[in-house]
Structure 1
Amino acid sequence: MKLPKIKFKIWHGFLLLALLFIIPPLIITLAQRWEVSDSDPDRGAMTVKQDVFGDSAGKIVYLEQNWKPEQSLWFYTTTQGSNLLPYDFFLVLEQADKPVLFRSDENINSYRYLPQKKTSSNPDALPVGFVKDNYLGKDYMGFTCAACHTAQVNFKGTGMRIDGGPASADMQGFLNGLTAAMTAVRDKPDVQQRFVNAVMKLGAYSSEADVIADIKTYTLRLTSYNIINRSAVDYGYARLDAFGRIYNRTLEHLLNRQQLKEVLENVLSEEEVKAALEGIGQDISSADRDKIIERVATTEKNIAKLRRELFIKGDAPVSYPFLWDIAQHDYVQWNGLGGNGGLGPLGRNTGEVIGVFGSLDWHEGKRFSLTSLLAGQGWTKKVVEYDSSVNTQNLRRIENQLTELQSPKWPEEILGKLDQTRIKSGKVLFAKYCVSCHAEIDSRSPQRRVVANMMQLEKIGTDPTMANNSVDYLGYSGILRNQYVGAGVGDVLLDKKAPIAALLTKATLGVVTTPDADKGFIRRWSEWLHNIIQALFGNEIHDSNKHGDYKPDTTMTPYSSLQAYKGRSLNGIWATGPYLHNGSVPTLYDLLLPSICPTDPQDAECRPTIFKVGSRELDAEKVGMKSSGYEGYNFDTRLHGNSNCGHDYGTLTPRGPGELPKPTCVHEADTKLPKESSDLPKLTKQQRLDLLEYLKSL
């Protein structure tokens, strides 16, 4: 008589699991399908009357990329958990030097973000990729993927919006300008009163004292962030040291009290250390972090000292990668850091949100543990809690939508007809010079796959700063100390200081596998289960070995394969200048030239040493953005991290038998690399133009 009773209980147990973990995800999926969609035919696009660089775009068009208007607008306005500034602050904030809104279309456009008009999904007319987020009951302005991965290319009065294209944005300049505006609010009584009055009218704050307190907090956060990530070389437009900033935010939020105390003792007096840590417990919350920064940041010199001790140099800016085919890759990022199988896409996108101001409430906690109890250590064991604002539900959905995005075709009705004879000749040259690293794919096929071809630094010869930084730097492990992280060739034990790649891997995995603390219990756990199942079983890309000529990881050097750069398919490459991973070559034509001019005056073409960046106007002949004739940012390839060396296939005369390798560059950034010229024959000017015509057609 007992057996049926047991079966009855088991049946009810399965029913309960279904109610909790299967039905809610189905409801969530159905609810998402019924979301209010914004199908504005213009996709919210608008132009400005006066462009800071003199660009002209009287009308905006969208090229065919397999996205409908509602898909573009959803991509622009779907939050991922980025919390840069209180939302009402951003709505009313004025520019530092004049009483004009900081978010005015002209000012936003000057930083090369894309202004938008008001639509149903964007009622406050925020720029592309700027969005309202809510975390723990408070509204914030933050970024979406679209801020850095939506492009506009102009040609003779027509602006072409490119979904998934690399933005021309100057995020470094934007954040400096935002900080200056907030500093003016903090320090100028008349500006502050006008700001407080405007914020109070919007109704999110209950008192002026709360507004003033947040003015102080967020001005300090922005100021310290800019100092921590200060680079000796300005990034300029169309690039950012995203990894450096992601790493630094990770290092900042891993610190525990003991390690912070040890670091502070290296740079401050005993009295200053005591004052900085007064009332701070072992776990350092976001509020504690604000207190510590306020107490330590009495001078910029003190913050700079902490930067040198705690953080890495953010001196390796790279171009924003284009996103079409990203979901079909085996490995992503310029140096192949991110595997795209399994949970890889969620981890990659989580790292991105960490970098763009996700709220991170990481701390050490205790949980019930049967193992700990049986070992005689009590009911609980110490664990790391990874609570954050990161919206893994939306990150997964964004990645899913990107599977449908296709590269833009050269629009002949706007940019002119392509020469089919030259294309045929160029295709032969592409097969000889390019295809071994840049595979040709059917960009319209839903079954396409993209194999990243990795090339070690010594062979490719391009600026090594970004790749080297990802391997060479160590950071304090803090709350992760003594934990293990898989590295493909075995587990890495995290010591007091550990490789930053290992720390980021461990932290992102922790966030991905943590249910959203900002949601109710049932929704939190059902969404978590749904996301994990979808990510693991819905991802058609599986973990696989890297391809190419790179230094393999070993147990002694578990991250050496990251000292390489990726060659990917080049479909849509015409819309993605400037070129090379660090944006150091303005056009594709220049990329087919040597980095140093030959001595022969009859063939004196070479890559420009200094050129302008900032214009969106396309040079349709050389294929790249206009790089002279206006007041823009001077890109100087002689500076650290800016080298335009390497990738010299077809640009040099091959060396003869027994000749030594010919140096192709003497720029500061890569003097440590042995230079080896390509054995491919040097391209003639006609061949360069033919190859360029074929690249336009991809």
Structure 2
Amino acid sequence: MRTLILALALLNLPIASSSFADQSGPVFVDQGAAWDMSSRSDFYTRDQGSRLIPWAWLKALKQADGAPFLADGLTRYGYLPALDASTELPVGFYASGPTGAKVVGMTCSACHTRQIKVADRQYRIDGGPALVDFQAFLSDLDKAMARATSDDAAFKAFAASVLQTPKPDSDKVAALRSDVDAWYVRYHAIVDRSLPNPGWGLGRLDAVGMIFNRVTGLGLGPEPTFLIPENIHRADAPVRYPFLWNAPKQDKTQWPGFADNGSDILGLARNVGEVMGVFGNFQPTRDGLFIDFLNNNSVNFDGLQKLEDLAKKIGPPKWPWSVDAKLAAKGKTVFERPAADGGCQECHGQKAGKERFPFQKTWATPIQNVGTDTREYDILGWTAKSGVLKGAYIPFATKPLKETDLAFNILSTSVIGTIGEHVLSFSKGASPSALGASVQSEAAPGAPQPVDATQLPAVLQDLPGAFRFPEAAATPETRLRLDMGAGSSNTDAATPAPPKGAYESRVLYGIWAAAPYLHNGSVASLAELLKPASQRQQRFAIGSDYDVDNIGIAANQTQAGNVRETTGCDDLNSGNSRCGHEFGTSLPDADKKALLEYLKTL
């Protein structure tokens, strides 16, 4: 091994950082000295508060052909085998809780671990956008439980497996059936009402839509189900999973850039919403004038802080193959040209952003419309019944929720309330029972205070900026219905509202590992992105086979069957439009080739 490393060094070729760099496992691409095997293992398994399904139930479920649901460790959906070969769950899944009562959840790495294949070798990129079919997993899990509960005989077989006895006690079977039915009525509601046809496909999901549906549809209704089914909408604006390296440094995040970012408290807001979207428990209660956001709330604050710390350690992946240094140097000059001349630096270079509390420096994240698909803005305009949160507000942070309000505002109140209650319950002299008088109903004596974050405790003052509703997402009907005007949501009066279809521009370190491209994953490679939209592929196979020349998804995929169908500029709101971002499309071929070579080095 030492001889091989010496030979690579003499040839000036990159060396993959991996203790598994042999034919028996993936090559772990170099992502910096801070990213070691211990951090990787923690990232793959850390409990963040997701509570999907009891572990014993998942192990007892069957596929349609009778094989165990977990027979292949969920690799059929693109999830990656765990580092420990004896573990039944893949990367990004965990079972937490006491023995006999463990619950399966998902953590960041399920959606943010990429593996690609070049010349029969597998390369692992931690923090990269996963090539997984989350929709197929959710749908198949729904069908598996439907089969298990379809009749008495099927349920008895399921119960025998769960209870680990061939002839379980009838009372225990009845109790289990009650628990399963209570879980399934909620799970089936969100799957049946949310999942679109055609589906999201590999490497995409409608994350914002699913978070809205989970929070407003499953947690705010009356007991015993807590459901408000009409709040659950078709989640048909799929986006590509973003890459995580450098994500904590951005001053804005989420594809439409509606969330301030760059501090620990803002990172917590980003991650609490994510936990709610992957089936974290959230069932707030009202006690007179006060809302308890932490009632049956499974958010694991310690786990989320650790995951954020781990995300800060993940470095951009270094290109693990050879680079033409002379050509890359020419490409650097192309990259640094003005955008009007085909350059990238203006939008994607590293520049100083807003400073966040306490004295945390960020990178600027431009939010602009470059003519790409607009569908996500329709999702942001959804409205929903606020249920138990009707009238709730966080003084100095949010406004009282109307009976029907923007799902965006309901999520904002839910996340800020959850964090505020948690943080202040540990503050000196604070009541542990919520935010005390800080989280109230509109029915509380006196008029609600205006949104003024400077009146919040210093550690919480950034929080209202975690949800700045893009006014361009409001339809005329929504605007009229909700009486939306300046400052109606957590907008920054000093910052003009971005137009519909404006999305974030990330710094491009490690961009070679993030294919397919554009926010909706509609362009297979960087070479394809340098073509005018009219010349880009209408359909392409998608999978882990990687093209080192075009930098992205290879045209030929070993595993057939996954195809991305896209639309052109005549259907910009399809959710699948390949239109827009025509920067660099007029460059001479020689400049394009040089630019691509340089992008490998970032």
Name the TM tier (shorter chain).
0.7 to 0.9
2:575 paired with 1:641? yes
Alignment deviations for residues 487-534 of structure 1 (CA, whole Å, 9 cap, x no partner): 99xx54422222222111110011113349xx9xx9x969x9xxxxxx
In structure 2, give the amino acid aligned to 1:323. L
For the pair 1:409 / 2:318, whether they are aligned, the reply is yes
Q: Structure 1 residues 538 and 254 mapped into 2: Cα distance closer, same or farther (>3 Å)? A: closer
Match of 1:555 in 2: 486
1:314 aligns with 2:243: no
The equivalent residue for 1:60 is: 26
1:588 maps to amino acid: L
CA distance in 2, matches of 1:398, 1:167: 17
| 1:197 aligns to 2:163 (yes or no) | no
Amino acid at match of 2:291: V
**Quick one: structure 1 residues 126 and 42, their matched pair in 2 at CA, closer, same or farther if it must change by over 3 Å?**
farther
Are 1:147 and 2:95 matched, yes or no?
A: no
State the match for 2:305 in structure 1. Answer: 396
Cα distance, 1:77–1:562 mapped onto 2, change above 3 Å: farther
Aligned equivalents of 1:189, 1:424: Cα separation in 2:
69
Structure-2 residue corresponding to 1:86:
54
One-letter identity of the residue aligned with 2:541: K
Distance in 1 separating the partners of 2:18 and 2:156: 38
Call closer, same or farther: CA 1:67–1:576 in 2, change over 3 Å: same
Amino acid at match of 1:390: V
Specify the SS of the correspondent of 1:393.
helix
Query: Which residue in 2 is equivalent to 1:13?
Result: none
1:232 is displaced (CA, Å) by: 3.8
Q: Measure the CA separation in 2 of the matches of 1:403 and 1:687.
A: 34
Asked if structure 2 preserves the Cα contact closer than 8 Å seen for 1:485 and 1:505, the reply is no
Question: Cα distance 1:540–1:217, how it changes in 2: closer, same or farther (>3 A)?
Answer: closer
Correspondence for 1:101 = 68
Q: Distance in 1 between matches of 2:545 and 2:422?
A: 45
AA at the equivalent of 1:509: I
2:225 aligns to what?
A: 288
Q: State how far apart, in whole Å, the 2-side matches of 1:392 and 1:191 are.
A: 39
C-alpha RMSD of matched pairs (Å): 4.0
Whole-angstrom CA distance in 2 between matches of 1:505 and 1:439 = 31
Q: Does 1:616 align with 2:538?
A: no
Q: Distance in 2 between matches of 1:325 and 1:253?
A: 33
Shift of 1:466: 0.9
Deviation for aligned residue 1:385: 3.8
Residue in structure 2 matched with residue 262 of structure 1 by the alignment: none
Aligned-pair CA distance for 1:138: 4.0
Q: How does 1:313-392 map to 2 (within 5 A)?
A: 313-340=234-261, 341=263, 343-366=265-288, 381-387=289-295, 388-392=297-301
1:626 corresponds to: 554
CA shift in 2, pair 1:110/1:163, >3 Å: same
Which residue in 2 is equivalent to 1:430? 335
Q: Is the 8 A contact 1:454 1:550 kept in 2?
A: no
Unaligned runs of 5+ in 1: 1-40, 48-56, 257-283, 294-305, 367-380, 529-535, 597-605, 652-681
Matched residues in 2 for 1:550 and 1:455: separation?
14
CA distance in 1, matches of 2:389, 2:99: 25
Computing the radius of gyration from Cα coordinates, the structure with the larger value is: 1
User: Take 1:136 and 1:158, find their aligned partners in 2: how far apart are those partners?
Assistant: 38
Task: Specify the SS of the correspondent of 1:436.
Answer: helix
Q: Which has the larger helix fraction?
A: 1
2:194 to 215, 229, 237: 229
What amino acid sits opposite 1:145 in the alignment?
Answer: C
Number of the residue aligned with 1:114: 80
Counterpart of 2:190, as a letter, is: Y
CA shift digits 1:245-303 (9 cap, x unpaired): 100111124545xxxxxxxxxxxxxxxxxxxxxxxxxxx34x333xxx7xxxxxxxxxx
1:512 counterpart residue number: 419
1:455 aligns with 2:362: no
* Residues 496 and 68 of structure 1, relative CA distance in 2, 3 Å threshold: same
C-alpha spacing 1:198/1:634, structure 2 compared with 1 (3 Å): same
Q: Residue type matched to 2:92 in 1? A: G
DSSP-derived class of the 1:514 partner: helix
CA distance in 2, matches of 1:545, 1:474: 19
Letter in 1 for 2:70: R
Distance 2:246 2:90 in 1: 25
In structure 2, do the counterparts of structure 1 residues 514 and 550 end up closer, same or farther at CA, with 3 Å as the change threshold?
closer
Report the 3-state secondary structure (helix = DSSP H, G, I; strand = E; otherwise coil) of the residue aligned with 1:403: helix
Determine the C-alpha separation between the residues in 1 that align with 2:317 and 2:157.
46
2:214 matched to 1:249? yes
Contact 2:129 2:241 in 1 (8 A): yes
Deviations 1:667-688 (A, max 9, x none): xxxxxxxxxxxxxxx1122211
Alpha-carbon contact 1:61-1:161 (below 8 Å) kept: yes
Change in CA separation of 1:690 and 1:514 when aligned onto 2, cut-off 3 Å: same
For residues 603-639 of structure 1, the C-alpha deviation after alignment (integer angstroms, 9 at most, x for no partner) is: xxx21011112x2111111111224455222211127
**Equivalence for 2:12:** none
Identity of aligned residues (%): 31
Spell out, residue by residue over 1:548-568, the C-alpha distance to the aligned partner (whole angstroms, 9 max, x if none).
x99899716646448420001
Partner secondary structure for residue 41 of structure 2: helix
- Match for 1:393: what amino acid? D
Find the counterpart in structure 1 of residue 408 from structure 2: 501
Name the residue aligned to 2:325: 420
Tell me the alpha carbon deviations over residues 102-129 of structure 1, each in whole angstroms, 9 at most, x when there is no partner: 1122x6122011112537xxx6431001
Q: What amino acid is aligned across from residue 583 of structure 2 in structure 1?
A: Y
Shift in alpha-carbon separation, 1:503–1:110, aligned structure 2, 3 A: same
Moved more, 683-692 or 315-324: 683-692
Counterpart contact for 2:52–2:105, Cα < 8 Å: yes
Q: Does 1:689 align with 2:593?
A: yes
Residues 1:694 and 1:151: Cα distance change in structure 2 (over 3 Å): same
Q: What's the counterpart of residue 503 of structure 2? A: 565
Q: How many residues align?
A: 523
Which of 532, 536, 542 is the aligned partner of 1:607?
A: 536
Provide, for residues 410-467 of structure 1, a one-character-per-residue CA deviation record: whole Å limited to 9, x for no partner: 012xxxx11112111111111111111101479xxxx9842111103xxx11001113
Distance 1:136 1:499 in 2: 41
- Residue identity in the other structure for 1:92: A
Letter of the 1:353 counterpart: V
Per the alignment, do residues 390 and 550 of structure 1 end up closer, same or farther by CA in structure 2, a change over 3 Å counting? closer
Amino acid of the residue matched to residue 555 of structure 1?
A
Residues 221 and 544 of structure 1: is their aligned pair in 2 closer, same or farther, counting only changes over 3 Å? closer
Which residue is 1:14 aligned to?
Answer: none
Q: Residue by residue, what CA displacement relative to the aligned partner does 1:64-123 show, whole Å, maximum 9, x if unpaired?
A: 22311111111111111111111111123221222x221122x6122011112537xxx6
Q: Which letter does structure 1 place at the counterpart of 2:536?
A: R
How far, CA to CA, are the matches of 2:301 and 2:130 in structure 1? 24
CA distance in structure 1 between the aligned counterparts of 2:304 and 2:214, rounded to whole angstroms: 19
Give unmatched runs, 5+ long, in structure 2.
1-16, 338-342, 353-359, 436-456, 474-483, 492-496
Alignment-mate amino acid for residue 333 of structure 2: V
**Matched ranges for 1:646-685 at <5 A:** 646-651=580-585, 682-685=586-589
Per-residue Cα deviation, 1:119-171 (whole angstroms, up to 9, x for no partner): 7xxx6431001111339994211101111111111111211111111111111
CA distance in 2 between partners of 1:648 and 1:198 (Å): 56
Aligned pair partner of 1:577 in 515, 518, 528:
515
With the length of structure 1 as denominator, give the TM-score of the two structures. Answer: 0.68
Residue of structure 2 equivalent to 1:9: none
